[in-house]
Amino acid sequence: MIEKRVALVTGASRGIGRAIALRLAEDGCFVIINYRGAKEKAEEVKAEIENRGGEVMLYPCDVADFEACGAMFQDVIQTIGRIDVLVNNAGIVKDGLLMAMKEEDFSKVVDVNLKGTFHCIRHAARQMIRQRSGRIVNMASVVGIQGNAGQANYAASKAGIIGLTKAAARELAGRGITVNAVAPGFIETDMTAALSEKVRAGAIEHIPLGSFGQPEDVAEAVAFLASEKAGYITGQVLSVDGGMAM
């Protein structure tokens, strides 16, 4: 059995997930990097953690698949013996105006972002209940708080994550498990790198701090909520958005 705290981060092969995996490894966690298709990127994160002296393993799994998630957590428990931290970061976007949005695009985003979060909580909580301890951190978004034109599916999925976070926090608090959410704003990732300069400039006008954030800004918030220092915090949404949603 691993003596370190064990943290599983979904969608950890790039961007915010990568930064979270690195930060939790820095805090001494044994990190499980979940990914769906980006194996090469996931292996790069694994190598970076190992080069820094950390311990890590990879686990491919589509979080939108309930049974596959169950198998992933079962394998982790059988192999490692415990799970202390779950970070539900995996997510996708399929943007489009509401009146032109395809039903399958709405469903796919909800399946990955919202149902994927439910799937992982559902399977991880069983072990955390046995341990009578655990930290669950879900990735919401400023879009889930205030909406955004052209992102009805994404906004709905992220708003749903906020509601799921609060409900799960109430259900699991008596077993020593905290459940919180982090709501990033515009963060420098592959996703925002594709934005035109005009769109970037328009976005920055709505950010009081006047710039996009870095993945490490989000990772720091997650690391705090996953730590023992946040033991009396549950059911909360911590915005990391430069002031957008205040």
Distances (CA, A) of 201 to 100, 142, 211, 246: 26, 18, 9, 20
- 196 in a known ligand binding site: no
- 89 in a known ligand binding site: yes
Please give the pLDDT value at position 194.
77
Q: In what order do the strands lie in the sheet with 6-9?
A: 56-60, 30-35, 6-9, 85-88, 134-139, 177-184, 237-240
Please give the pLDDT value at position 192.
82
Please give the pLDDT value at position 111.
98
Q: Which of 131, 145, 136 is nearest to 167 (CA)?
A: 136
Q: What is the CATH number of the domain that holds 182?
A: 3.40.50.720
H or E element that contains 113: none
User: In this structure, is residue 1 part of a structural domain?
Assistant: no
User: In this structure, is residue 184 part of a structural domain?
Assistant: yes
User: In this structure, is residue 123 part of a structural domain?
Assistant: yes
Please give the pLDDT value at position 108.
98
pLDDT digits (tens, 9 = 90+) for 110-140: 999 999 999 999 999 999 999 999 999 999 9
Cβ-based burial of 55 (10 A; exposed 0-12, middle 13-18, buried ≥19): middle
Owning domain of residue 74: 6-240
Q: Which residues are catalytic?
A: 154
User: In this structure, is residue 245 part of a structural domain?
Assistant: no
Q: What does the angle CA 199 – CA 203 – CA 205 come to, to the nearest 5 degrees?
A: 120
Q: What is the mean pLDDT of residues 29-55?
A: 97
pLDDT band per the 50, 70, 90 thresholds, residue 191: confident
- 59 in a known ligand binding site: no
* C-alpha R_g of the chain: 17
Please give the pLDDT value at position 1.
67
- Number of Cβ within 10 Å of residue 246's Cβ equals 7
Distance CA 193, CA 206 (A): 18
- 12 in a known ligand binding site: yes
User: In this structure, is residue 225 part of a structural domain?
Assistant: yes
User: In this structure, is residue 246 part of a structural domain?
Assistant: no
Q: What is the mean pLDDT of residues 54-70?
A: 98
- 156 in a known ligand binding site: yes
Q: Per the structure, how many domains does the chain have? A: 1
Determine the 3-state secondary structure of 174 from DSSP: helix
pLDDT band per the 50, 70, 90 thresholds, residue 185: very high
